[in-house]
């Protein structure tokens, strides 16, 4: 007896497919609902919002709550944590910063590899981004952060010792849309072979680094006779007549040696009153006192002066200070460094429109009169009165002189500087002068030199 073949029932196949599609839709809807409730609860509790997709595919009610009830939102997506003004947060916006590992070749780098953070919609609205570093950067312990301006110039913004394990928090700076995080290995160091001092005198040991943009420039000093000299933060202090040798060791294990001769101090029969040097104007149009650049309301910089960014001597000293601050549990970064003449024009005009000229002159410099244009000054962490009294501000005030910095506008010195107290504004003057100003009571540069800071009109 022949068995009949069973025909494929199209209607049954379609029913199975519809059931399968329905189950998939139910599962997706359930996951989306659970996900939506979780995100909304995280937002209401003020927690970091965890996103699972590179688009903010959230409920409209969640986005509305974030926009109306939160000042800022912090969210995570994979290896990124982004903090931004909540008013910018929109449904279905791209939440992923754009990064890539690449090698840079220009005058500063020779095929230097690093993490390149490219401009995208997030970079324009975020206040800070925390991202995971690749192992080749993380293993070094130190990294440099470069900002890339609209002309493609790489400007060093921070030299930082990482303290958050493998993660780096990028604070978004003004005028930079692209960034480059890298590590440049120190190859060698060299210095002047000998120094001659008299008893009681102090001198700074000048160390040259190769390459000049090396990331970790921390050095140690050892091997000298402590009865003849002391060496702290690269500053030699002569104690008594004698000879000794200082061994300088860089992080690349290279060593330089410096001979130090201390001569006996000659007694003077008549002590002449020390005359402080006067302000002179160089051929470059810049004002100096004993080789120290002076920029205040009385002594402007030429509008054409442009060092291209914070000068190497500033960054070398800041890098040294940064390492010691980190060891003390203090986190420092440069919030605002070099500003061009043209940039200061816009900034000052904005403050004048906002508060009037007289008030603006108490906290903002007119174009050409700003120390930020010198490449030797910067605002640290948070340039506002809320920084006053913080552990970072206290540490900076008590320690910055050791590295060649001064608090440029000290508290109680307004009549000399012409500006209100700024605990965040530091100026590099070199270790010799910063120590003298510290010993004088951390006074202003104007009071120390006896000069004025007043606009002529």
> How far, in Å, are 31, 51, 76 from residue 36 at the CA level?
8, 10, 15
With beta carbons less than 8 A apart as the criterion, state whether 249 and 219 touch: yes
In percent, the amount of the chain with pLDDT more than 70 equals 94
pLDDT band at 7, cuts 50/70/90? low
16-41: average pLDDT? 81
Both tokens of 319, joined, read 């890098």
pLDDT band at 110, cuts 50/70/90? confident
Alpha carbon distance 265, 241 (integer Å): 8
pLDDT band at 418, cuts 50/70/90? very high
pLDDT of residue 446: 93
Phi then psi dihedrals of residue 373, to 5 deg: -70, -20
pLDDT band at 164, cuts 50/70/90? low
378-415 pLDDT per residue, tens? 999 888 888 898 999 999 999 999 999 999 999 999 99
Q: At residue 254, does pLDDT exceed 80?
A: no
With beta carbons less than 8 A apart as the criterion, state whether 36 and 53 touch: no
pLDDT of residue 3: 60
424-439: average pLDDT? 94
160-184: average pLDDT? 81
Q: At residue 279, does pLDDT exceed 60?
A: yes
Q: At residue 201, does pLDDT exceed 60?
A: yes
pLDDT of residue 8: 60
pLDDT of residue 447: 93
pLDDT band at 176, cuts 50/70/90? confident
pLDDT of residue 58: 85
Domain ranges for the chain, please list them: 98-182, 188-263, 280-449
pLDDT band at 4, cuts 50/70/90? low
Alpha carbon distance 95, 100 (integer Å): 16
In percent, the amount of the chain with pLDDT more than 90 equals 37
433 closest CA partner among 445, 422, 425, 421: 445
User: What's CA 311's distance to the chain center, in Å?
Assistant: 14
Average pLDDT, the chain: 86
CATH number of 188-263: 2.60.40.1080
pLDDT of residue 385: 87
Q: Which residue has the tokens 């029913």?
A: 15
143-156 pLDDT per residue, tens? 888 888 777 777 77
> Per DSSP, what are the bridge partners of residue 189?
209
CA angle 245, 246, 248 (to 5 degrees): 145
Q: At residue 20, does pLDDT exceed 90?
A: no
What is the assigned CATH class of domain 280-449? alpha beta
pLDDT of residue 345: 92
216-234 pLDDT per residue, tens? 888 889 999 999 999 988 8
Q: At residue 300, does pLDDT exceed 80?
A: yes
Q: At residue 5, does pLDDT exceed 80?
A: no
Sheet holding 167-171, edge to edge: 49-50, 72-77, 80-85, 126-132, 167-171
323-382 pLDDT per residue, tens? 788 888 888 888 888 888 998 999 999 999 988 999 999 999 999 999 999 999 999 988
54-88 pLDDT per residue, tens? 888 888 888 898 899 988 899 999 889 999 898 88
pLDDT of residue 107: 67
The SS3 of residue 331 is: coil
With beta carbons less than 8 A apart as the criterion, state whether 69 and 34 touch: no
With beta carbons less than 8 A apart as the criterion, state whether 194 and 259 touch: yes
Q: At residue 38, does pLDDT exceed 70?
A: yes
pLDDT of residue 268: 62
Q: Which helix (H) or strand (E) holds 49?
A: strand 49-50
């Amino acid at each position: 007896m022949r068995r009949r073949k069973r025909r494929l029932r199209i209607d049954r196949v379609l029913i199975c497919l519809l059931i399968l599609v329905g189950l998939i839709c139910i599962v997706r809807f359930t996951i989306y609902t659970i996900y939506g409730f979780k995100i909304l609860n995280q937002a209401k509790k003020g927690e970091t919002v965890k996103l699972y997709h590179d688009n903010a595919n959230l409920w409209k009610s969640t986005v509305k709550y974030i926009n109306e009830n939160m000042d800022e939102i912090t969210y995570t997506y994979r290896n990124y944590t982004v903090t931004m003004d909540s008013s910018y947060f929109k449904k279905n916006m791209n939440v992923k910063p754009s990064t890539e590992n690449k090698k840079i070749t220009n005058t500063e780098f020779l095929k230097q590899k690093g993490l390149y953070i490219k401009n995208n919609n997030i970079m324009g609205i975020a206040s800070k981004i925390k991202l995971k570093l690749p192992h080749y950067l993380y293993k070094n312990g130190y990294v440099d952060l470069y900002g890339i301006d609209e002309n493609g110039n790489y400007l060093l913004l921070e030299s930082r010792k990482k303290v958050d394990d493998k993660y780096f928090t990028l604070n978004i700076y003004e005028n930079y849309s692209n960034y480059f995080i890298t590590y440049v290995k120190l190859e060698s160091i060299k210095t002047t072979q000998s120094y001659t001092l008299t008893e009681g005198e102090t001198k700074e040991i000048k160390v040259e680094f190769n390459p000049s943009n090396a990331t970790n420039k921390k050095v140690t000093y050892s091997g000298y006779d402590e009865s003849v000299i002391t060496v702290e933060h690269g500053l030699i202090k002569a104690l008594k007549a004698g000879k000794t040798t200082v061994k300088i060791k860089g992080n690349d294990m290279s060593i330089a040696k410096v001979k130090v001769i201390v001569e006996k101090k000659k007694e003077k029969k008549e002590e002449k009153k020390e005359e402080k040097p006067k302000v002179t104007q160089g051929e470059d149009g810049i004002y100096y006192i004993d080789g120290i650049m002076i920029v205040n309301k009385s002594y402007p910089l030429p509008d054409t002066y442009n060092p291209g960014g914070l000068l190497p001597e500033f960054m070398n000293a800041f890098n040294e200070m940064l390492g010691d601050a980190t060891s003390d549990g203090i986190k420092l970064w440069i919030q605002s460094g070099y500003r061009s003449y043209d940039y200061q024009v816009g900034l000052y005009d904005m403050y004048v429109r906002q508060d009037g000229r007289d008030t603006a002159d108490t906290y903002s410099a007119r174009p050409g009169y700003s120390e930020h244009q010198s490449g030797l000054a910067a605002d640290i962490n948070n340039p506002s009165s809320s920084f006053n009294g913080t552990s970072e501000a206290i540490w900076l005030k008590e320690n910055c002189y050791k590295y060649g910095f001064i608090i440029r506008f000290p508290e109680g010195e307004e009549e000399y500087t012409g500006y209100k107290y700024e605990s965040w504004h530091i100026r590099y003057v070199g270790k010799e002068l910063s120590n003298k100003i510290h010993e004088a009571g951390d006074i202003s540069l104007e009071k120390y030199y006896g000069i004025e800071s007043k606009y002529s009109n």
